[in-house]
Structure 1
Amino acid sequence: GSFGAGILLCSAGIITLKKSAIPSQMAFAAIPLFFGIQQLSEGFVWLSLTHLQYAKWQSLTTYVFSFFSHILWPVWVAFAVLLFEHEKKNKRILFPIFMVGLLLSLCEAYFISTYGVEAKVEGRHIDYYIGFPRSFMLLSEIVYGFVTIVPCFVCSHKPMRFFAMVLIISIIVADFFYHQWLISVWCFLAAILSIVVYYIIYKSTHSNYQ
C-alpha cells in the first residue's frame, strides 16, 4: 500500500537527485522524494486509523500528509519550474504564477491551522475532511490546478510539457474513478509522475539545456 509506494518513491527520488548535476534543477528532481515522504505519511495515517496502538499518531500524521497535499505542492511545482527555466522571458511569466501558488499555500495553511483536518477510512481509501469555507473550495481547486500545470507549459524545456500532460491525465482519472478520495488516490499516481520527472532530468543532463 502506501508504505510500499512510499519506499519506492523515496528510492526513485534519491536516484533522481543523484542524476541531477545542475543545482537549478534540484528542486524539480526532489519531487519524487517528496511524493515518497507524503505516501509514507499516509501509511502512518492508515495505521493510526486501523490499529488502536497507533491512534495517538493520527493527528500528527494527518497534518504531515495535509502539509504536502495542500501546502507544499501549490508552491513547490511553480518554484521548481521557475528555477529550472533559463529563459528570462519565461521566468518573467513564471514568477507571478509562483507568487499566486505561494499565496494559495499560505491560505491553505491558514485554513488548516484554523479549522483543522480530520482523516477517516472510507471503503479502502482515506477521506480527508478540512473545514474550508465553501466559497474557498472551488476557487482553491482551480488555482491549485493552474499553479501546478501551467508552469510546465510555460517552461522552454519541452519534456516538461509531457509532465503537465501526465499530470492532467492523472487528475482526470483519479477524479473520475475516485472523486471522493481524490487527494488520497491521486497521490498513488505520483509513481507515474516520478518516472516522468526522472526522464526530464535525464533529458536535460544529456542535452544543452543548462
Structure 2
Amino acid sequence: MCFSAIVSFSAAAGLSCLGVATIGQTTSKRELLLASFPCLFAVQQTLEGLVWIGKDNSYFTHGDTIGTYGFLLFATLIWLVLSPLAMYLLAEDINRKRFLLGLAIGGGVLGIYLFGWIVARGVEPQLFSGNLFYDLRFIPFYEIIKYLYLAIISVPFLTAESSILQLFGVSIVLSFICSQIFFQITLVSVWCFFAAILSGSLYFIMRNESSNKMA
C-alpha cells in the first residue's frame, strides 16, 4: 500500500482472508488463478510493507531491497502475464483463447523488458507526499509503455463474456485514470493500492458466477 507499513500489512491480512474465501467460491480448476488474485496482492502489499519499514529504519536495508524488487516484480512483470492468463483459462471460444494467450506472451515480453531495466539500473524508492515514489522514468518509452501496460491488464476483462467481469475491467481503467490524474508522480504505488482494493471484489464476482452456474 502507498500510505504506511501498518496500512500495507493490514491490507495484506485482509486480502489474504478474502483470497482464501474467494478460492473457496470456485467451482472448477480454471477459476483458481483469478480467484487467487487477492492472495497474490496480499504478497505484493506485504513486500511494500517491507519497503516502508526500510524507510523508517536504516538498519533494515536488506528487507528494503527485497521489498522493492519483489514489489516491482509483481508490478512490472507478474500482473502483465497473470491478468490475460487468468482470463485465458476461463475462455471457451478458441479464437478468444488464442487472443488472450497472445496477450499473455506479449505481457511477458513487456514485463521482462521493464523489470530488466529495473534490475540493470536499480531503483531506490523515495517518499513523496506521504506515498512511495518508484521512479521508472529512466526506462525508454516509459510514458507510452504505461498505456500499453494498461491495455494488456484491462482488455482481457473488458472483452470477457461475463458482464460483471467487464465491469471489473472498467474499474481497472478508472482506477488508472484517477491515479494518473491525482497521483501521477506516485502512480506505481497508488495504482497498486486501487488494484489491491479492487481485487477484493473478486470474492463477490466469483460468488455471483457460482450462483449463476447453479441456477
Common topology (TM > 0.5): yes
Deviation for aligned residue 1:131? 6.4
Cα pair 1:111 1:131 within 8 Å, conserved: no
| Structure 2 partner of 1:20 | 26
Matched residue SS, 2:92: coil
Return closer, same or farther for 1:166/1:131 CA change in 2, 3 Å cut-off.
Answer: closer
Cα pair 1:115 1:131 within 8 Å, conserved: no
Deviation for aligned residue 1:34? 1.1
The aligned runs of 1:6-45 (5 Å cut-off) are 6-45=12-51
Deviation for aligned residue 1:19? 1.6
Cα pair 1:71 1:105 within 8 Å, conserved: yes
In the alignment, which of 76, 91, 108 is matched to residue 102 of structure 1?
Answer: 108
Gaps of at least 5 residues in structure 2 are 1-6
Deviation for aligned residue 1:208? 3.1
| Structure 1 partner of 2:57 | 51
Matched residue SS, 2:212: coil
Deviation for aligned residue 1:123? 2.5
- Aligned mates of 1:68, 1:30 — CA distance in 2: 14
Quick one: which amino acid aligns to residue 151 of structure 2?
Answer: F
Q: Give aligned-pair identity as a percent.
A: 26
The aligned runs of 1:1-210 (5 Å cut-off) are 1-130=7-136, 132-134=138-140, 136-208=141-213
Deviation for aligned residue 1:199? 2.2
Gaps of at least 5 residues in structure 1 are none
- What is the TM-score when the length of structure 2 is the normalising length? 0.89
User: What is the aligned length?
Assistant: 208
- Aligned mates of 1:13, 1:192 — CA distance in 2: 12
Deviation for aligned residue 1:147? 0.6
Q: Which runs of 4+ in 1 moved over 6 A?
A: none
RMSD over aligned CA atoms reads 1.7
